[in-house]
Every structure is written in C-alpha cells, then in structure tokens.
Structure 1
Amino acid sequence: MASKLFLLPFFLFLSQLLLLLLLQPQPFVKADTKLIRQTCKNTKYYNLCYSSLKSNPTSPNADPKGLAVIMVQIGRANATATSSYLSSKLVGPSNDTVLNRVLKECSEKYGYASEALQASLQDLNNEEYDYAYMRVTAASDYPNVCHNAFKRYPSLVYPSEISRREKDLKHICDVALGIIDNLWNN
C-alpha cells in the first residue's frame, strides 16, 4: 500500500508535466516562421513571399528547398489558371478572329510557362538549381510574348485582367528565383 501511495505523487507530477508540455507553444512553429522570414528577405517581393509561404499548409515542414518548391507550385497554378482563363475567352461570342488568335497564342504561352515551372520542380528535386533557375526565368518571360502579341495589333487593347495576371506570375517567379538563387549560392 505504501508503494502505491509513493507512486501517486509521481504520476500526478508526470501528468502535470505532460499537460504543461502540451499547452506550451511549440518551438518548431517559431523556427518555421523564422525560416520563412529569413528566406523571404532574400526575395524581391517579401510580402508576397511571406504571405504565400505562411498560408501554405506544407510550409511548416519545409526546408529551404521545400519553400522553393512551394513557390514554384504556386506559380504553376497561376500559369495554368491563366491559360484556362484565356482559353475560356475563346469560347465566347466574339467573332473577332484577330482577338481569338491572340488569345489562343496567349493561352499557349501561359501553358508553356506552366510546363517550364513543372520541369523546374524536377530540377529542384534533383538539386539542379541552375536549370531550375533557367526554367523559372523562362516561365516569367512567357507573359511578355502575350503582351507583345496584343501590341502587334493596334486595334486590340491589352485587357487589364490579363495585365494583372501577367504581373502576378512575374512576381511569383521573381520570388521563386530569389529562393532558388539562395539555394544555388549555399
């Protein structure tokens, strides 16, 4: 009986310790936020980088290469969505063959940007950072071809929605490039 009484305070202490540990903020969360902040400081668009990585559910477990992968995936999703958006405009009631031709070209270019970003994911996986950097740079440049296609036809106005999407993809790619550049140099 005495040994059971001796163990009771020990178990109470153990349960209180366990409860205390469970209620404490986990230190790895702060380290992940620190890594994200440190990583984003090396990019051109800190706020975009930080908000994108912080809101991604896989970033708490990511290392610097994983953060680059997340940004490239965000860019790929953006390019794919823009390609789909442009393709959907071809289905509309417009009889303007010039506009449809330009929209088709733009959709293809954003599709190529998506493919380049997909290929860069494989490069990142293989730690071939120079190739990943090159492909993300190419993906960032594809929207320029779309913009220039509109410029070829003075009667066409470059739509503000496409302009916004172009800017978004370029900024996302710039962030990814900053992260990759940091991987490459380490």
Structure 2
Amino acid sequence: MGISWFMFIFIILSTSFDPTLSARSNSNFIKKTCKNTKYYDLCVSSLKSDASSPKADTKDLALIMVKVGMTNATATNSYISSQILSVTNDTVMKKVMKECADKYGSAYDAFQKSVEDLSAEMYDYAYMDVMAAADYPNACHNSFKRYPSMIYPQELALREDGLKHICDVVMGIIDALLT
C-alpha cells in the first residue's frame, strides 16, 4: 500500500510540473523587478535576453545587468580606440579620445568591482561602484568641453546615454536589494 501511494504522489508531482510555468513566473519576477528601475523596457529586454535569467533571484538580475554594462563599456572602449587610429594628424583629438577610452576602461573596472561587491552582498558598495561607472562617460564628455573647437561626437553621446541608462537600471535593482 505504501509503495502505490508513493507512486501516486510521484506521478501527480511529475505530471504537474510545467517548466514553462517556472519561466512564466520568473518573467513576472523580472517585470516586477524592472518596475523599480528608471528604464523598464531596457531592463526587461536585457534580462530576458540572458539565458540565466529564468532561474535568477534579485541579486542575479543585478549581476546580469552589470555584465550588460561591462559589455557596453568594453564595446565603447574598443570603438573609441578604433577612432583614435583614424585621427592621424590631430594630436589634441587623439589625446581627448585616449582619455575617453581610458574613462570607459575605468567604467569597466568599476563594474567589475561591483560584481565582487554584489557577490559578497555588500550592496551599498556595489551601488557606489555602479554610480562611478555611470560618471566615467561624463568625464569623457568633459574632456571635449575643455576644447571649445571640438564637437562631442554624436556616436559617443549615444553610447554615453546607453551606459548611463544601464547604470540606472542596475542601481534600481540594487535599491531593491537594500530594502
């Protein structure tokens, strides 16, 4: 009698488990988490595009977004570095572009530090690191302002905004961890 009861429970449990239910409920969790951020659509699309998000908790979602920020900072650093090569004769422009590349490298480092802080559950420090990452593109923009004859490239302005938006999303998620 005990074995048949066990088999009955096993059959009920195994047939009632729907893996899509878990994914759907985590999709709702992602949406709920993203409602606390400044850029809801960016948050949802970024998190849903990551294969590890269906099993993620709030800290994992923050880590996923930090990695999005790291990717963005690296791509922008690479973009700027490639632009330095095309500015052959303008030494001032090369200098400013080098400063900008360095700033995006520093943004990457700040994100890397925030990964360590999130992993150690030191959320205030992670938040501060992400704030720093958000400010580095500002320093790049300010490098151009020191030379009134230079125009801040539209592509850099778009990338700056993108990184700042990612940082705002990460900070919104970390806020949820702090409460």
Indicate yes or no: 2:73 matched with 1:82: no
Give the structure 2 partner of residue 51 of structure 1. Answer: 45
Indicate yes or no: 2:100 matched with 1:96: no
**CA distance in 2: counterparts of 1:106 and 1:93, whole angstroms:** 14
**CA distance in 1: counterparts of 2:126 and 2:24, whole angstroms:** 29
Runs of 4+ in structure 1 off by over 4 angstroms are: none
Give the structure 2 partner of residue 166 of structure 1. Answer: 160
**CA distance in 2: counterparts of 1:73 and 1:25, whole angstroms:** 26
Give the structure 1 partner of residue 140 of structure 2. Answer: 146
Give the structure 2 partner of residue 184 of structure 1. Answer: 178
Indicate yes or no: 2:166 matched with 1:175: no
Pairwise CA RMSD: 1.8
**Kept in 1: contact 2:87–2:94 (CA 8 A):** no
1:137 to 126, 131, 142: 131
Unaligned runs of 5+ in 2: 1-10
- After superposition, give the CA deviation of every residue in 1:108-131 in whole Å (9 maximum; x if it has no partner): 000000000001000000000000
Give the structure 1 partner of residue 64 of structure 2. Answer: 70
**Kept in 1: contact 2:87–2:93 (CA 8 A):** no
Which residue type is aligned with residue 170 of structure 2? Answer: A
Matches of residues 7-22 of structure 1 in structure 2 within 5 Å?
A: none
Percent identity between the two aligned chains: 57
- After superposition, give the CA deviation of every residue in 1:15-71 in whole Å (9 maximum; x if it has no partner): xx97x758x563111111011011000000000001100111110111110000000
Which residue type is aligned with residue 106 of structure 2? Answer: Y
**CA distance in 2: counterparts of 1:26 and 1:57, whole angstroms:** 14
Give the structure 2 partner of residue 6 of structure 1. Answer: none
TM-score under structure 2 length normalisation:
0.89
1:29 to 17, 20, 23: 23
**CA distance in 2: counterparts of 1:93 and 1:176, whole angstroms:** 34
Give the structure 1 partner of residue 3 of structure 2. Answer: none
Indicate yes or no: 2:135 matched with 1:111: no
* Structure having the higher Rg: 1
TM-score under structure 1 length normalisation:
0.86
1:143 Cα shift?
A: 0.5
**Kept in 1: contact 2:38–2:172 (CA 8 A):** yes
Give the structure 2 partner of residue 125 of structure 1. Answer: 119
Unaligned runs of 5+ in 1: 1-13
- State the number of aligned residues: 169
**CA distance in 1: counterparts of 2:16 and 2:129, whole angstroms:** 45
1:94 Cα shift?
A: 2.5
- 2:86 aligned counterpart, secondary structure: coil
- 1:161 aligned counterpart, secondary structure: helix
Structure 1 residues 63 and 25: CA distance shift in structure 2, 3 A: closer
